[in-house]
Amino acid sequence: MKIIGKFAIIKEIIIFFKGGMIIVIKDLVKKNRSYRRFYENFTIERNTLEELVDLARLSASASNRQPLKYILSCGKNKNEIIFNTLAWAGYLKDWPGPIEGERPSAYIVMLNDTEITKNYWCDPGIAAQSILLGATEKGLGGCIFASVKRDELRSALKITERYEILYVLAIGKPKEQVVLETVGPEGDIKYWRDNQGVHHVPKRLLKDIILE
């Protein structure tokens, strides 16, 4: 094991120390799931959202243009506005979304500043992953929404045409269990929820995605 400050490398797996705990990056990635039910009464302060966006700010950006901008929400009224513009689970046809008391405590609206560039390349995905890994490290969780009523959200939040609405990230204290399982022989990759409310997410095997 090689120690570098607060970090260590064991068999090429990066870990870091926090409060006497050892956090392995792979475990953090595995724990970072798409959560859709939360403890709504759990308060998330604005400074927490700012810390998460700061992780996105420090992340890689194509040509280092850094065109992404953000709108933060952790108040009841703005949260309700954003919630009503989201489609919650495409594969769960009979589930309209979380009930009151299980909705996110906060949101981050991700925008592209078109005066910087109209081509943001892979920046949104990198930024979203950084934000959600940071949330996971804090004991929180979230979900990335691409299915957004953008015109309605733009009007409600008074977002000018300069900014393209990319994604909405819901953030909260997860109230559901999400488990990973292997894609079956039939190849079905649709996530599903069992009678106990556990959310199941099929993943392809490593050998099936490495071609050579």
Position 203 in a domain: no
Could you tell me the pTM of the whole model?
0.90
- Burial label, 62 (beta-carbon count in 10 A; 0-12, 13-18, 19+): middle
What pLDDT does 17 receive?
Answer: 60
Answer yes or no: do 2 and 89 share one domain. Answer: no
CATH of the domain at 68: 3.40.109.10
- Kind and range of the H or E element at 26? helix 25-31
Residues 129 and 58 sit within 8 Å (Cβ to Cβ):
no
CA dist., res. 99 & res. 176, Å (int): 13
Residues 118 and 126 sit within 8 Å (Cβ to Cβ):
no
For all residues of the chain together, what is the average pLDDT? 93
Residue 82 lies in domain: 33-176
For the chain, what is the domain count? 2
Answer yes or no: do 26 and 38 share one domain. Answer: no
Answer yes or no: do 12 and 85 share one domain. Answer: no
Q: pLDDT (tens digit, 9 = 90+) per residue, 124-152?
A: 999 999 999 999 999 999 999 999 999 99
Position 172 in a domain: yes
Answer yes or no: do 93 and 148 share one domain. Answer: yes
What integer is the mean pLDDT of 178-204?
97
Answer yes or no: do 17 and 93 share one domain. Answer: no
